[in-house]
A and B are shown apart, each in its own frame.
Chain A
Amino acid sequence: MKYSKKRINSIWYSPQVAAWVFLFPSLVSLMVFVFIPLLTAFLMSFFDVNIFLSSIKFSGFSNLKEIAEDSRFWNSLKNTFQYTFLSVLIGTTFSLSMALYVSKNSMFRKLLRFSFYAPVVCSMTAMGIVWSILLDPTIGMIAKWTQMIGLPKMEFLKNPDMAMPLVVFVSIWKTFGSAMIIFIAALHAIPNVYYEAAVIDGAGVWIQFRKITLPQILPVLGFNVITSTIAGLMVFDQTYVMTRGGPLFRTETIVQYLYSRAFSISPFRLGYASSIAMILFFIIAIISVILYRSFLKNENRVSGNE
C-alpha cells in the first residue's frame, strides 16, 4: 500500500470529494439542528422522560393512548385547525385583494406596499405584546375608542369567544405583507396581451380575474396557501404572547400545549410532548401533500390549453 502524497492529493482534490467538502458545513448544521432532533423526538415519544432526565422508562405506545383520551389535546387540535382555517382563508383572500389594489405602479401604491410590508419585518413577539396592551379592556387604546363611539364594554382578549378571532386578526395584520409582495410579483408577470384581448372580447373585470389572473397565479397562490397553512398549524408566538392559551384554553394551540407539557407544567414530560409533536408532524405532512397535489394537478391542466 502506497500512501504517497500524490495519491492522497488526487483523491482529496477529485470532484466528488470536493463536492462533499463544500456540502459538509450545511450538512452538519442540517444534521445537528434538523435530522438529529427529529429522530430524537421520534424516539422520545416512546419513552417516559422528564426534563431533568432523572427517570427514563420505555413506555411504548402508552403516550399515544393517553393523548387519545386527553381532552386538552383535542381542544388544542380544534383550536389549531380553527386558527389555520381562518388565517389562511382570510389572509390569502385579503393579501390577494391588496395585491390587486397596489399592483399598479404609481407612487402612492408603492408607498402603500411599503407600509403594508412593514409589520412583516417586526418581531411577532413584540407586536403581540403591543396589540395585547392596545386591546386591554382597562388601559387599552382600542377599548377607549370603542367606548367613545358608544359600543358596550368589550373584554377583547379576555372574552373566550373573541380571543381567537382577535389573535387571527393580529396574525394576518402582521403577515399579509409578505404574501402580498409575492402576489404582486406574480401579477406583474402576467403578459398584458391577455387582458387586452379580453377587453376587446368584451369581458368584464370579474371574468378577467377568474379566467386570466387566477389561473396564471395559481402556482403562486398554491405556494402561499401551503406555506401559510404550515405556519398556521405550527402557530405558537401569537397565542403564547397575547393570551397564553386562555381564556379557558380557547386559544391554546397544539404547539403551545406541547410546550406547556414539556416546559411549563410539572412534571415536565418530554416524552409525552414529543408524541404530540410527532402527531403534529404527520398532520402537517399529510395536509401538505394533499395541498401540493391539488395545486400541482391544476397547474398541469392550466398549462395544457386555454
Chain B
Amino acid sequence: MFKKGECYETDFVVLVLITCMVSMVFAAGSKEDVSTVTKGTEISFWNGFTASDGDILREIFDRFNAENPQDIKVDMDIMPWANMLEKLAVSVSTKTGPTLILLGLENIPEYSESGALLSLNDFWEWSGLDKDNYSPNVLKAFQYNNNTYGIPMQYNSHYLYWNKDLFKEAGLDPEKPPKNFSEFIEYAERLSDPTKEQYGYAFAADSAVITNFLWSNGGDWLTADNTKSAINSPEAIQVFKMFQDFSKNKISPTGMTGADLDNLFYAGKVAMYINGPWLIAGCREKGIDFGIGSIPASDSGNKEFIGTGVAFMITSSATEEQKIAAYEVIKYWLSKNILKEWTLRNGFPAWSQEVLDDPEVQKNLIQSELGTITQYTRVPFEGLPESTQILSDYVNPILEQLTYLKISPSEAAEKMEEGINKVLKNR
C-alpha cells in the first residue's frame, strides 16, 4: 500500500483542510422556535443616552442583569445618537446589528420601511400587561402603518430651564419666567453680558427647539397631509427673525452643538435654555439653582409644543430567542417601579396611569408642572419617512446659515420650502 518515495504528508494535510472547510459549511447552527426565553440569553443593547440620564440607565440595567430570574444578560453600549445611527444602518444590513435599541420615534417610519425593525404587534398579548394603563396617545406615536414598531421607553416635550442665580443678578424675579415671546426677548437681552461671556438664551441650530416657537406662533413645517411645505409663511419668518437676532446680538453663541450648550448651562454661563427633561439630573448634580417650566407662549397666548420620545425597538438582526429576551427587558421597564424611578430621578413626565396616580409623583413639584404641558404636545412630521432627510439636508443646514447671519429670515423660509418640496415630490 505505501510506496517508496511517495509523499503522503501533503495528502493528509489536504484531506484535513477539506474536512475542515466542509464541516464549517454545515456548522452554521439551526434556529429553534421558542416562545419562552432560554436561561442565560445574552442580548446587545444600543442607545444614545450619553448625558447624566445614561448613568441612571446603567444603574437600572445593572440591577436587571443581577436580579432577573431568567438570567438574561443585557450588554449595553452607549454612544452619541449620530454615531449610533451610522453604525445601526451598516450593522443591520450585515445582520450584525444589536438586538435591542432605544431610538427616537422620528426614525420609525424610515427604519421600518427598510425592514430594519421587527414588528412588535405580539408584545402586549405576550406580556400580559394591561395596555389600558398606558396613555393611548403615547402608544400611538410609536406606531407606523398600524403596526407597532416601538414600545415607549419615555415620552417628553421641551421645557424652559432658567438659572435662578443669574435671574437674581439681573434684577429679575427668579420665580417668574417669561410668559410670552416679548418677555422672552426682553429677559434674554437683560440676561446677556458678552464681557462676562454670559448668554441670555443659548440654542443650537436644530429644528427641534425652533418647532416649539413655530407652532405656538401659528406656523408649521408641512401642510396637514404631509404633502407640501408650509414653512414660507409670515409666522415662520417672524420666528426665524427672533432666533437670528439672538445670534446677531450675541445673546446666543454660534456654532455650538447641543452637548456644548448643556455644558455651558451647567457651568452657569447660560441664563435660559430649552431642552428635554434630561437636563434635570445633571443640574441637580452640578448644583445649579434652576427653574423649569413651560416654554413661552406666543404673544397671543397660543401654546403648542413638540412631543417626542424614545422607544424600545428590536432590529431584524435579533434571533427569536433574543427577541423574547428583549420582550422580558421591555416588560421589566414598563413596571410601575421602574417607570416611577425614571420619572422621579430623571424628571421624565409619566405616561403610565398607575405612576401618575402615585402620591409621591403627585407631590413632586417638577412633575406636576411638566404634567400640565403634555396636553399641548404633538409629534412633528408624524408618520413621514422622509422627515430625517428633510431635516438633515435642508432645514438644519439652512438654520445654521441663519445663525451665522449668512441669509435673511425670508430667504431661509424660501430655501426651506424649495428643499422640502423637492424631497416630497419624489414620494
Interface residues of A (CB under 8 A from B): 5, 9, 50-54, 138, 155, 158-160, 246-249, 263-268
- Given A138-B260, A266-B388, also A247-B400 (CB < 8 A): yes
- Residue of A54, A246, A265 near B393 (CB, 8 A) is A265
Whether A267 lies near B404 (C-beta < 8 A) is no
List B residues 88-135 near A (Cβ within 8 Å).
89-90, 92-93, 110, 113-116
Whether B6 lies near A51 (C-beta < 8 A) is no
Q: Does B40 contact A (CB under 8 A)?
A: no
What residues of chain B lie closer than 8 Å to A53, measured between beta carbons? 93
What residues of chain B lie closer than 8 Å to A267, measured between beta carbons? 110, 114, 389
What residues of chain A lie closer than 8 Å to B406, measured between beta carbons? 248
What residues of chain A lie closer than 8 Å to B389, measured between beta carbons? 265-267
Excluding A247-B400, A248-B397, 13 further A-B contacts by CB distance (< 8 Å) are: A5-B6, A51-B93, A52-B92, A52-B116, A138-B197, A155-B254, A158-B255, A159-B255, A264-B392, A265-B388, A266-B110, A266-B388, A266-B392
Whether A263 lies near B90 (C-beta < 8 A) is yes
What residues of chain B lie closer than 8 Å to A9, measured between beta carbons? 7
Whether B115 lies near A54 (C-beta < 8 A) is yes
- Residue of B82, B264, B400 near A246 (CB, 8 A) is B400
List B residues 70-85 near A (Cβ within 8 Å).
82, 85
Q: Does B9 contact A (CB under 8 A)?
A: no
Q: Does B401 contact A (CB under 8 A)?
A: yes
Alpha-carbon distance between A249 and B394 when the two chains are bound, in angstroms: 12
Whether B255 lies near A264 (C-beta < 8 A) is no
Alpha-carbon distance between A264 and B260 when the two chains are bound, in angstroms: 21
Q: Determine which residue in A9, A246, A263, A266 has the highest number of CB atoms from chain B within 10 A of its CB, and name it.
A: A266
- Residue of A5, A52, A246, A249 near B114 (CB, 8 A) is A52
13 contacts between A and B (CB under 8 A): A5-B6, A52-B89, A52-B114, A54-B115, A138-B197, A155-B254, A158-B254, A247-B400, A248-B397, A248-B404, A264-B392, A266-B385, A267-B110
Alpha-carbon distance between A168 and B89 when the two chains are bound, in angstroms: 31
List B residues 347-395 near A (Cβ within 8 Å).
385-386, 388-389, 392-393
Whether B255 lies near A51 (C-beta < 8 A) is no
Alpha-carbon distance between A82 and B18 when the two chains are bound, in angstroms: 54
Q: Does B86 contact A (CB under 8 A)?
A: yes
Alpha-carbon distance between A117 and B254 when the two chains are bound, in angstroms: 37
What residues of chain B lie closer than 8 Å to A247, measured between beta carbons? 255, 400, 404
Whether A51 lies near B89 (C-beta < 8 A) is yes
List B residues 254-307 near A (Cβ within 8 Å).
254-256, 260, 264
Whether B82 lies near A264 (C-beta < 8 A) is yes
Alpha-carbon distance between A159 and B254 when the two chains are bound, in angstroms: 9
Task: Looking at the assembled complex, report how far the CB atom of A227 sits from the nearest CB atom of chain B, in whole angstroms.
Answer: 29
User: Which partner residue on chain A sits nearest B406 by CB separation?
Assistant: A248
Alpha-carbon distance between A267 and B400 when the two chains are bound, in angstroms: 22
What residues of chain B lie closer than 8 Å to A52, measured between beta carbons? 89, 92-93, 114-116
Alpha-carbon distance between A9 and B254 when the two chains are bound, in angstroms: 75
What residues of chain B lie closer than 8 Å to A268, measured between beta carbons? 89
Alpha-carbon distance between A247 and B403 when the two chains are bound, in angstroms: 11
User: Which partner residue on chain A sits nearest B400 by CB separation?
Assistant: A248
What residues of chain A lie closer than 8 Å to B197, measured between beta carbons? 138
Whether A54 lies near B114 (C-beta < 8 A) is yes
Task: Looking at the assembled complex, report how far the CB atom of B7 sits from the nearest CB atom of chain A, in whole angstroms.
Answer: 8
Whether B85 lies near A264 (C-beta < 8 A) is yes
Whether A264 lies near B86 (C-beta < 8 A) is yes
Task: Looking at the assembled complex, report how far the CB atom of B415 sits from the nearest CB atom of chain A, in whole angstroms.
Answer: 11
Task: Looking at the assembled complex, report how far the CB atom of B220 sits from the nearest CB atom of chain A, in whole angstroms.
Answer: 21
Task: Looking at the assembled complex, report how far the CB atom of A152 sits from the nearest CB atom of chain B, in whole angstroms.
Answer: 12
What residues of chain A lie closer than 8 Å to B93, measured between beta carbons? 51-53
User: Which partner residue on chain A sits nearest B389 by CB separation?
Assistant: A266
Whether A249 lies near B397 (C-beta < 8 A) is yes
Task: Looking at the assembled complex, report how far the CB atom of A62 sits from the nearest CB atom of chain B, in whole angstroms.
Answer: 12
Alpha-carbon distance between A71 and B255 when the two chains are bound, in angstroms: 22
Task: Looking at the assembled complex, report how far the CB atom of B239 sits from the nearest CB atom of chain A, in whole angstroms.
Answer: 21
Mask of B392-427 contacts with A, CB within 8 angstroms, 1/0: 110001001100101000000000000000000000
Task: Looking at the assembled complex, report how far the CB atom of A143 sits from the nearest CB atom of chain B, in whole angstroms.
Answer: 11
Alpha-carbon distance between A53 and B397 when the two chains are bound, in angstroms: 28
Alpha-carbon distance between A306 and B110 when the two chains are bound, in angstroms: 69
Task: Looking at the assembled complex, report how far the CB atom of B192 sits from the nearest CB atom of chain A, in whole angstroms.
Answer: 15
Alpha-carbon distance between A263 and B393 when the two chains are bound, in angstroms: 14
Task: Looking at the assembled complex, report how far the CB atom of B89 sits from the nearest CB atom of chain A, in whole angstroms.
Answer: 5
List B residues 203-239 near A (Cβ within 8 Å).
none
What residues of chain B lie closer than 8 Å to A50, measured between beta carbons? 114
Alpha-carbon distance between A160 and B116 when the two chains are bound, in angstroms: 37
What residues of chain A lie closer than 8 Å to B116, measured between beta carbons? 52
What residues of chain B lie closer than 8 Å to A263, measured between beta carbons? 86, 89-90
Task: Looking at the assembled complex, report how far the CB atom of A202 sits from the nearest CB atom of chain B, in whole angstroms.
Answer: 58
Alpha-carbon distance between A195 and B322 when the two chains are bound, in angstroms: 75
What residues of chain B lie closer than 8 Å to A54, measured between beta carbons? 113-115
What residues of chain B lie closer than 8 Å to A160, measured between beta carbons? 404
What residues of chain A lie closer than 8 Å to B86, measured between beta carbons? 263-264
Task: Looking at the assembled complex, report how far the CB atom of A238 sits from the nearest CB atom of chain B, in whole angstroms.
Answer: 18
What residues of chain B lie closer than 8 Å to A264, measured between beta carbons? 82, 85-86, 392
- Residue of A51, A158, A159 near B90 (CB, 8 A) is A51
Alpha-carbon distance between A5 and B11 when the two chains are bound, in angstroms: 11
The 5 closest A-B pairs by CB, nearest first: A158-B255, A52-B114, A266-B388, A54-B114, A52-B93
Alpha-carbon distance between A79 and B366 when the two chains are bound, in angstroms: 49
Task: Looking at the assembled complex, report how far the CB atom of A99 sits from the nearest CB atom of chain B, in whole angstroms.
Answer: 38
What residues of chain B lie closer than 8 Å to A159, measured between beta carbons? 255
User: Which partner residue on chain B sits nearest A52 by CB separation?
Assistant: B114
What residues of chain A lie closer than 8 Å to B113, measured between beta carbons? 54
Alpha-carbon distance between A155 and B254 when the two chains are bound, in angstroms: 9
User: Which partner residue on chain A sits nearest B85 by CB separation?
Assistant: A264
Task: Looking at the assembled complex, report how far the CB atom of A144 sits from the nearest CB atom of chain B, in whole angstroms.
Answer: 12
- Residue of B6, B82, B264 near A138 (CB, 8 A) is B264
Alpha-carbon distance between A115 and B151 when the two chains are bound, in angstroms: 55
User: Which partner residue on chain B sits nearest A139 by CB separation?
Assistant: B263
What residues of chain A lie closer than 8 Å to B392, measured between beta carbons? 264-266
Alpha-carbon distance between A158 and B260 when the two chains are bound, in angstroms: 12
Alpha-carbon distance between A159 and B256 when the two chains are bound, in angstroms: 11
Alpha-carbon distance between A266 and B111 when the two chains are bound, in angstroms: 9
Task: Looking at the assembled complex, report how far the CB atom of B404 sits from the nearest CB atom of chain A, in whole angstroms.
Answer: 6
